[in-house]
Structure 1
Amino acid sequence: MLGRAPEEQVYFPPELVPAVSHPLVRELGPEGVRHILVQRLYQYLHFTTELESVAVLPVTLSLSRGQDDLRLAPAMRQDAFKITTDEAWHAQFSHDLMAQVAAETGVPLQLGESSFIRRLEGIRADMEADLRAIQSLVFCIVSETLISAILSDLPQDRRLPRAVRELVRDHSEDEGKHHAYFRSVLSHFWHSLSAGQRRQLGPWLPELVFTFLEPDYRAIAGSLLAAGLTGAQAEAVLAESYPAASVRASVAEASRTTVRYFAEVGALDDPGTLEAFHAAGLTAGLAL
């Protein structure tokens, strides 16, 4: 399905993987860079599988069955069923493609638990008790309304295998519809909360944005080690390729639309919530 790879083919755009431009990685040669790019594709596909399975499907099933207090119209319940089907398929074809790429490239799969799962567990443990039940829905709204450069860039990159481009293109088309749906769900959800719940929940929103968008440093380090770097070298590459300021700027750019949606429903009218967004660097350039 992937086809014979031309010499110029890559499995993930190197421009979206800062680590491969680092001198220590360049010293590994083309094969080392190729190994890291294949691992980055695995990480993206594994993240998609985990996200859909762990974070999205439970929420869309709950919405479709009316297990909430949102008073959604019947048509929105039906749409939630359709999204459940879409997301299950995204998880399946991402999982299947990983196996195909591994068979073609010979690069072994290195799949651990995605960092967002650990971070969500930590957030839930620290949240006020009456917010824990709604954390899953909030994170689903955040993740489904964020704009991913991967979804827009990869389908156009003809250096990638056709199967990868087609998978991401199909995913992007579906996510465009899901984006609009969850923007609507956000309005229903936010206005279903009490004033106290809004004040409590608002300051957690930036952390949920970073949970989705921040690089999975552990997974990246694993790919660097597997490519041949030492532990000290991998730490240096991570620190120099993903400086905090650059990561924050990237997250702010990718989350701009989602932040605007929260502003539109009034979430940022609360001083504590607005300060949390300011402190996270998520309000630069926005008219609030």
Structure 2
Amino acid sequence: MHIEAFQEQLIQGHAGSRVRSAEYASRFGRWDTLASVRRRPRRDFAGGEGGLYFPPELYPVVLHPLVTARGADVVEGLLLRRLYDYLHFTTELENLAVIPVAVKISQGRSGLVLPEPMRADAYKIVTDEAWHAQFSYDFACQISAETGVAGPHSAQAAPPAFLARLDELRERLPHEIRGVESLLFAVVSETLISSILSDIPRDERLYRPVREVVRDHAEDEGRHHVYFRSVLRHLWPALTPRERQAVGPLVPVAIHAFLEPDYLRTAHHLRGAGLSTDEIGQVVAESWPPQSVRQSIARAAAQLTHYLTEAGALEDARTLASFEESGLLLTERRSTTGAAGS
């Protein structure tokens, strides 16, 4: 079993037969002096200084009248739960989605023939991501000890929504190309997360240690963003036409798996705050109207959509149609894509 796991590739088939590129410019030359695991201290949560646990605008249920009417303590409790969810999401994303892919790349078992410096840098990404998982877990434990509110990392904790969504994506792929979704999701998550984290460290309403933890994460993810953009540039040309036709239309599924709110988790928190089933349905529906969610996801994914366009992913008619149906093509990008394909 263990030898089989060692030998397993993310993309099946003979890697040497695939199109390859020698292009790669490393951003990890100064990793020893820049990586948060090398230069940042353990962040200690100290309550009592005043602040918010999470930006309310990024968790709009706490701004809904049915929630605010229940008082400031309920709002604060929900923001704490949202911070816990972010920390738990980070831990599980790194452990279950990014580190396994980076390990395979470092072993030369991605299914692609990648430049040797990319393998070396993948080892550094594994170290970075393990540190992100560790300090997210540790920080949640500190907050739990300070507040007396149980943290998110118990053995009974519900898995983040992206895991079930990723399983659904895998089931939609032909059996012989399953595995590519792991590499694709790593590209999606690592090129999107840096923009998600960018504003939180500057939000002075938040507890200072919260801002510092997110800043440490964001600085590393900036380098990871560039790395996985390069992975995409190697990945897409290396796929066979059949693989591109199977995978391309499912890229929007991977993007939504990462960016769409975790509605079930939020409903659980609202129920814990004392809202009825009807009230929960109303709060969730009015806080995240479907069209607003689609537009927000499209804006957040715009840079990745551009990278995919550059790589040629949207040249396939079914893939382009899937992006259009998912609302991922903003108006200005839709006209550019249409012109390129005409």
User: TM-score, normalized by length of structure 2?
Assistant: 0.82
Structure 2 equivalent of residue 63 of structure 1: 105
Partner SS state of residue 159, structure 2: coil
- Would you say 1:272 and 2:318 are equivalent positions? yes
Cα separation, 1, equivalents of 2:79 and 2:198: 18
Counterpart position of 2:49: 6
User: Identity, % of aligned pairs?
Assistant: 49
Q: Which residue in 1 is equivalent to 2:244?
A: 198
Could you say what secondary structure the match of 1:146 adopts? Answer: helix
Match of residue 15 from structure 2 = none
8 Å CA contact 2:91, 2:132 repeated in 1: yes
Deviates more, 1:67-76 or 1:89-98: 67-76
Alignment correspondent of 1:208: 254
For residues 212-268 of structure 1, the C-alpha deviation after alignment (integer angstroms, 9 at most, x for no partner) is 000001111111111221222111111111110011011000000111100001000
- Unaligned runs of 5+ residues in structure 1 are none
CA 1:222 to 1:133, structure 2 compared with 1: closer, same or farther past 3 Å?
same
Distance (Å, rounded) in 1 between the aligned partners of 2:145 and 2:322? 46
The answer as to 2:93 corresponding to 1:51 is yes
Greater shift, 200-209 or 110-119, is seen at 110-119
Using the alignment, how far apart are the partners of 2:84 and 2:181 within structure 1?
27
CA deviation vs aligned residue, 1:14-41 (integer Å, no higher than 9, x gap):
1111101111101110000000000000
Alignment partner of 1:176 out of 222, 225, 241 = 222
Task: Give deviations 1:152-188, integer Å, cap 9, x for gaps.
Answer: 1111112222221111111111100000001111111
Q: What is the CA distance between 1:105 and its match in structure 2?
A: 2.1
1:131-142 to 2 correspondence within 5 Å? Answer: 131-142=177-188
The number of aligned residues is 287
Secondary structure at 1:72's aligned position in 2?
coil
Structure 2: which 5+ residue stretches go unaligned?
Answer: 1-43, 338-342
Distance 1:119 1:4 in 2: 35
Matched, 1:240 2:286: yes
Counterpart AA for 1:18 = P
2:70 — aligned with what?
28
1:18-167 aligned within 5 A = 18-110=60-152, 111-147=157-193, 149-167=195-213
Find the aligned partners of 1:274 and 1:216 in 2 and give their Cα distance. Answer: 26
Q: 1:45 to 1:120 in 2, by over 3 A?
A: same
Give the 3 Å change call, closer, same or farther, for CA 148–237 of structure 1 in structure 2.
farther
What is the RMSD computed on CA atoms of the aligned residues? 1.2
CA distance in 2, matches of 1:156, 1:46: 22
The one-letter amino acid paired with 1:91 is: A
- TM-superposed CA distance for 1:148, in Å, is 5.0
Distance in 2, Cα, partners of 1:119 & 1:216: 11
The aligned residue for residue 218 of structure 1 is 264
Do the aligned residues in 2 keep the contact of 1:156 with 1:165 (CA within 8 Å)?
yes
Deviations for 1:36-58, whole angstroms, at most 9, x for unmatched residues? 00000001111101100110000
Q: CA deviation at 1:130?
A: 2.3
Task: Kindly provide the amino acid, as one letter, of the partner of residue 75 in structure 1.
Answer: P
Tell whether the 8 Å contact from 2:193 to 2:221 is kept in structure 1 after alignment.
no
Cα-to-partner distance string for 1:108-132 (whole Å, 9 max, x where unaligned): 2353111110111111112211231
Paired residue type of 1:277: F
Alignment check: 8 A CA contact 2:194 2:225 kept: no
Q: Structure 2 CA distance, aligned partners of 1:230 and 1:149?
A: 35
Report the structure, 1 or 2, having the larger helix content: 1
Q: Secondary structure at the match of 2:230?
A: helix
